[in-house]
Structure 1
Amino acid sequence: MVAVLGSNRLPLGQAAAALGRLDDAVRHLRAAAEINDRAGMPPMAAFARYELARVLARRRRPGDRDEAAALAASAARWPAGSAWRPWRAAARSCRGLCPDGRRAR
């Protein structure tokens, strides 16, 4: 059995985010989404965009919140079928970020 989990830039981005290196995380996660798109791996590209949205929401630079909301909305639209329900719920919760950093209810 062979499992392909997408670009190795995804875990690099996740690790950078965990260490608080948000600029590095953004760079790695953008690359992961692009590489996974080019490789024809939409689930992994959507997951990279979801992770990128979470990091952008934490980073709080001008435009980051709006981009985070757009990325989360994009990631939430991708999955189809009942197996993806938890994914869609997670992406929707990230999509509802308000400009002041609180989650929309």
Structure 2
Amino acid sequence: MSRRKIAKRSNYKCRVCNQSLIGEEALKINLIVPNLLGGKEKYENMEMLHTSCCTQHNHLLKKYGEGKELPKIQKFFRDKNINPSSKEGISLMKLQFKKFKYANCKGK
């Protein structure tokens, strides 16, 4: 998968800090729905983030998911009877990310 294509989909902006992905800071491909929840490494499930923003995002994912295995998020999908790796599952994860309280990221 082309990193450029993934970055272009977000208009070359990091979802976490809303700053440009073009610059000095290293970038990382993040799975919107993590493998742990059944997320697949496919284009629709990938986003490009600054490395520092990705680290913060993963920390908050574990915090809001109530642990390393993300039991709260697994239950959320089970209760709604939604496959996490489906388009609907990916959209739901993106919606939930808006509730995350990001700090200490580039531009924040």
Determine if the TM-score, normalized by the shorter chain, exceeds 0.5: no
More strand by share: 2
TM-score by length of 1: 0.25
TM-score by length of 2: 0.24
The structure showing larger relative contact order (alpha-carbon pairs under 8 Å, at least 6 residues apart) is 2
